[in-house]
Amino acid sequence: MRSLSLCASAAPLLLLFGYGANAAPRKTLNTRYTVNQQRANTVKEAFQTSWDGYYKYAFPHDSLRPMSHGFADDRNGWGASAVDAFSTALVMENWEVIDQILEYIPTIDFDKTYDEVSLFETTIRYLGGLVSAYDLLTGPLSTQSNQPARIEAILHQARHLANNLKVGFDTPSGIPDNSLFFDPPRKGGSSTNGVATIGTLVLEWTRLSDLLNNTEYADLAQKAQSYLLRPSPAVGEPFPGLLGTNVRLSDGQFVDGNGGWGGGTDSFYEYLIKMYLYDPKRFGEYRERWIKAADSSIEFLVSHPTTKPELTFLAIWKGKTLEFISEHLACFNGGNFILGGLTLNEPSYTEFGLALVDGCHETYHSTATGIGPEIFAWQDARHALNSTYNNRAVPVDQRLFYNTTGFWIENGQYVLRPEVIESYYYAYRATGDVKYQDWAWEAFEAVVEVCRVGSGYSSIRDVNRRDGGGFHDFQESFWFAEVLKYSFLIFAEDAPWQVKADHTNQFVFNTEAHPIRVYGGHEGATS
């Protein structure tokens, strides 16, 4: 077995930037947690407000339009907010809402939709939400519900949905078509698919197979994943472990070498370490690929802004050329490095993850609303300002802002994204440091203050205007699944579904924050 230590090239850089095991230590890591019931209850109240508005004005449609008290069917009209809210209601033990969703699940007609079906979005929201609810209700919450028929209906619906989705994998290579249509199930005719939309199916489809004792679903997702674990041609892997974005359905070959830890590629890297946590016996190769990607990120992508070089961000790449730009979506990366460090007993990864968390905290702390922007950029401290390898000049109207904050805003909207609070959660569960609880509370209070409108909460147009710059009149389903769940869990009592720092994990979160029970029931189990 390969050593869990960092590769030779990455380890010196960790020490250079102050992240290594021999660097000046942060606060001593511990796993003692501080429950703050008052804050947890406040988050539960926000969940109830969101649910009440959705249930009154939008259910069983997908999403609430809180300003106009209307609805949107943006995820095929199967009740995305209800399914995304399911696991959050369960970890909050909100039995009134749980019973409403339990009653609804058997009525969903997964054969009917008038819109294009995204294999990726349907997997992470619907399939992940159903499998997670089943795991929770047959696991740690099994004594709390006396509706066995409805609980079994959850798994039946998950299987039925997967049976409709599996047509997507019927391609010459096994790389799925992300674009599908139902009634009858058929492919949309795509020629390529993306790394994230290929590589973020394997946890949900493997778990479904394990629950059903039927390898069919796992085999489909794992075959598709195999092209990402062993990428070809060389253009698809510009740095060791770091991939391009688009892959041909015809032969599984990469067609570009552009990527990053943001949208389009992000959750592929996220799932590598999570699959190893799910079952280390079957997914050792995933561990190796995550280590390779993590080491290359540290060696090649680390960037510090010219005006605040103490901050750490990860650049994106086009081939071997870096661009110093990031996004809210990419701020999950701190939490993912932290989870990798905990899972692999490698504190240097955890320390590096905490540095990334610090950087993303600055994007929240620095704006007028206290909420981070969708896209931000900076100039890299290692390159001359006029270098062709650096970003363009700072926008004139943001020079003062950049001098103070270390980044400027490329897109100022906030669409109720969870990634920064998600990484605060992992930082807290790794360290027990209440600083991360305080940061999460500041973020939660800012979002509640600025995004509360009408019958719920809405995405906003400009995080650097005190009033948010106006509303989009849209409450995303992942507001229920992710923002409210992570905001609650960071203050809640320890529970089987909480992330553990001591190798006793019983669950791993999918990319929609649905807790999936690890194979064998606990971390390290082999059967």
pLDDT at 3: 33
DSSP class of residue 238 equals S
**What are the pLDDT digits (tens) for 475-485?**
999 999 999 99
| Nearest Cα residue to 419 out of 292, 204, 243, 261 | 261
Span 341-358, average pLDDT = 98
Look at the chain and count its residues. 527
Span 365-380, average pLDDT = 98
Secondary structure class of 456 (helix, strand, coil): strand
pLDDT at 22: 36
**What are the pLDDT digits (tens) for 125-150?**
999 999 999 999 999 999 998 899 99
Mean pLDDT (the chain, rounded): 94
pLDDT of residue 490 exceeding 70: yes
**What are the pLDDT digits (tens) for 63-114?**
999 999 999 999 999 999 999 999 999 999 999 999 999 999 999 999 999 9
Q: Which residues contact 446 (CB under 8 A, 6 or more apart)?
A: 364, 369, 370, 371
pTM of the model: 0.94
Across 22-36, 388-402, 492-506, the highest mean pLDDT is recorded for 492-506
Q: Which residues contact 213 (CB under 8 A, 6 or more apart)?
A: none
pLDDT at 386: 73
**Do 512 and 270 contact (CB within 8 A), yes or no?**
no
The catalytic residues are 374
pLDDT of residue 50 exceeding 90: yes
**What are the pLDDT digits (tens) for 211-255?**
999 999 999 999 999 999 999 999 999 999 999 999 999 999 999
**Do 514 and 481 contact (CB within 8 A), yes or no?**
yes
**What are the pLDDT digits (tens) for 145-176?**
889 999 999 999 999 999 999 999 999 999 99
> pLDDT exceeding 70 applies to what percent of the chain?
94
pLDDT at 103: 98
